[in-house]
Structures are given as C-alpha cells and as structure tokens.
Amino acid sequence: MKKMNILLFGNKGQIGREIEELVKIKDIKITGFDVDSLDITDAEQVSSVFKQSVGVDFAINSAAYTNVDKAEDEYEKAYQVNCIGVKNLALSCRQYNIPLLHISTDYVFSGEKPSSYAETDVAEPHGVYGKSKLAGDQVLESIWHKHIILRVSWVFGKYGNNFVKTILRLAQERYVLNVVCDQFGCPTAAADIARVLFEIAEKVLRGKEKWGIYNYCNYPVVTWYEFATKIVELGRNRLQLRVKQINKIATDEFPTKAKRPKNSELFVEKINKDYGILRKSWDGCLCEVIDAIEF
C-alpha cells in the first residue's frame, strides 16, 4: 500500500494533536494546519492550500468552535467556523476528488430521547454550538458525497481543555466537588478517535469505502458524577488530591448559558458493521490519559 498522505485541519486541538502523534508510528505523510496558520472560513486560503498540495489521499477536519456557552453570544463566529469553514473544505475536496473525514458531535441531538441515538435519528440541537455543528454536517452532505461524518461524545485527552483535566485541577484545590448526576453519556478518548479515523482511512484506501454519518464513543454510559468519581479514584494513584467528598447535584443546580443534552449516549453499531471498528472502554483510556497529563 502506498504511503498515506493527509491534510489535517485543526492540528492543535485535542483530536488533532492525537492524530499527529499517531502518525509518528505509522508510515504516513501529514500536513497540519491550525487557526494561526490557516483560516478555514477564508475560501481563498483554503483553496490555495489544496492547490499547492499534491497526492493527497484524505483531508481530516478536527477544527471547530467548541466553546458551548460562549457560542450563545458569538453566534456568527461559531457558524463561520463550524459551517462556513466546513463548506470551504468540502468544496476544495470535491474539486480535487479528496475524501473528507469530519468530526461532529452528540450536541446535534436534543438529548431528550430515553435511549441511545442512532445515525438515523432526527437531529434537533438546542444551542448555537449544536446548531452550527449540524449546519456543518448538512453542508458537507450537500456538497461532497465522499465524506465520513464521525459523531463523537464527551471527548477527553491529555491535550487541550476537557472534563478530566478540570476535575483533576479542582480535586487538587478543593475539599468538596459538586458534579451533575442527571446527564448521561459516553466519555470518549481523543486518542481513540484518532485510531478510528485511521482505521477508516485504511479501509477506504483498500477500496472498501462506505460514505456517510457514523457514531463512535467509548463505553459504558455514565453520568458526569460517575465519570468524575472514577477520575478522582485513578488520579489519586499519581497526584496529591485534596478532595474529600464529591456531591451529586442536578442540572438545575448548575446553570449554564447553553442547555446541555440530558442524554448523549450514541448507538455504535453501524461503524462496526461497515468498517469492523471495535469500541474501547473509556476507563482503560482514562488510565493512559491521567498517566500522560502534564501538570
């Protein structure tokens, strides 16, 4: 098989950095861009990158506006990155016949469904972040059929800002933590998402492509409280944690500007059926992340 050649957008984010780390142990050429080196909302900049690139097999888009609460005030900025940016990438990918692997989110769903969300469920996001991400998914579907939209949930990792890092920091500072216990989801390691993307890419290069939307998350489903409890339990093996008590609180007791989905569990079967991808447990991934985090 020829050496894989990839364009990566959002290479300084949680998932982007894991992708770049993974390619170090694979025979892959990768050219990465972050917000400082490329503005994906600028069609001319995006077009220029693709025009100058030769022999590209895939484009991966992990760039996104992800500040859920701030998006409520920065509506236009969120849509520019999460929708217009995706549109620009899709147009260039179509022009040069390059498949686009795009990261989406559980926030495209309302979170009101009592069971897990399948790819075929109706997307009804509440906030600006979810609406802008859904708009990006839809514009990609309308422009370029050679795409994978990978919807993931509760992403954590050793890079960037995430729930794991926040809980460990607070556990070092406080004796008591209050954590929401009535929101459900599946924490998903950024490193595992990177693995999944490359497993898909390798299958596509072998001519076994099946385009469309796919869900992926780690297992099992938990609440934020249960996840926080496990983070603290594992964190004590490495860090001096001050926290003595973790309290359960309801969502109403922890008001946020943007409404969070009550249920973010994703139904993960299609990706196994079409690509043979197996899920990992988040607790195993969590151990690796906590060991790797630099404080």
At a CB cut-off of 8 Å and minimum separation 6, what does 122 contact? none
For residue 44 the two structure tokens come to 């001319």
Check: pTM over 0.95? Answer yes or no: yes
What pLDDT score was predicted for residue 108?
98
Q: Is 65 a known active-site residue?
A: no
- 36-45, long-range: CB within 8 Å, 24+ apart, which pairs? 38/9, 40/9, 40/81, 40/85, 40/86, 40/88, 40/89, 41/80, 41/81, 41/84, 41/85, 41/88, 42/88, 43/88, 43/91
At a CB cut-off of 8 Å and minimum separation 6, what does 273 contact? none
What pLDDT score was predicted for residue 3?
83
Residue 273: CB atoms within 10 A of its CB come to 9
For residue 262 the two structure tokens come to 């009550």
For residue 146 the two structure tokens come to 């050679």
Residue type present at position 162: N
What pLDDT score was predicted for residue 1?
55
Identify the CA nearest to 138 among candidates 88, 86, 97, 75.
86
What pLDDT score was predicted for residue 150?
98
What pLDDT score was predicted for residue 25?
80
Enumerate the domain spans of the chain: 4-161+187-218+266-277
User: Phi, psi at residue 117, to the nearest 5°?
Assistant: -90, 125
What gap in Å lies between CA 249 and CA 182, rounded to an integer? 8
Q: What's the chain's Rg over C-alpha atoms?
A: 19
For residue 82 the two structure tokens come to 């999460």
Q: Are strands 28-33 and 176-180 parallel, antiparallel or unpaired?
A: unpaired
Identify the CA nearest to 13 among candidates 75, 103, 74.
103
Digit-by-digit pLDDT tens for the chain (295 residues) are 568 999 999 999 999 999 999 998 887 999 999 999 999 999 999 999 999 999 999 999 999 999 999 999 999 999 999 999 999 999 999 999 999 999 999 999 999 999 999 999 999 999 999 999 999 999 999 999 999 999 999 999 999 999 999 999 999 999 999 999 999 999 999 999 999 999 999 999 999 999 999 999 999 999 999 999 999 999 999 999 999 999 999 999 999 999 999 999 999 999 999 999 999 999 999 999 999 998 7
Q: Which among 79, 129, 159, 216 is annotated as catalytic?
A: 129
Give the alpha-carbon dihedral of 84, 190, 243, 247, to 10 degrees: 60
What pLDDT score was predicted for residue 290?
96
Domain 4-161+187-218+266-277 of CATH type 3.40.50.1370: no
What gap in Å lies between CA 294 and CA 160, rounded to an integer? 11
What pLDDT score was predicted for residue 15?
98
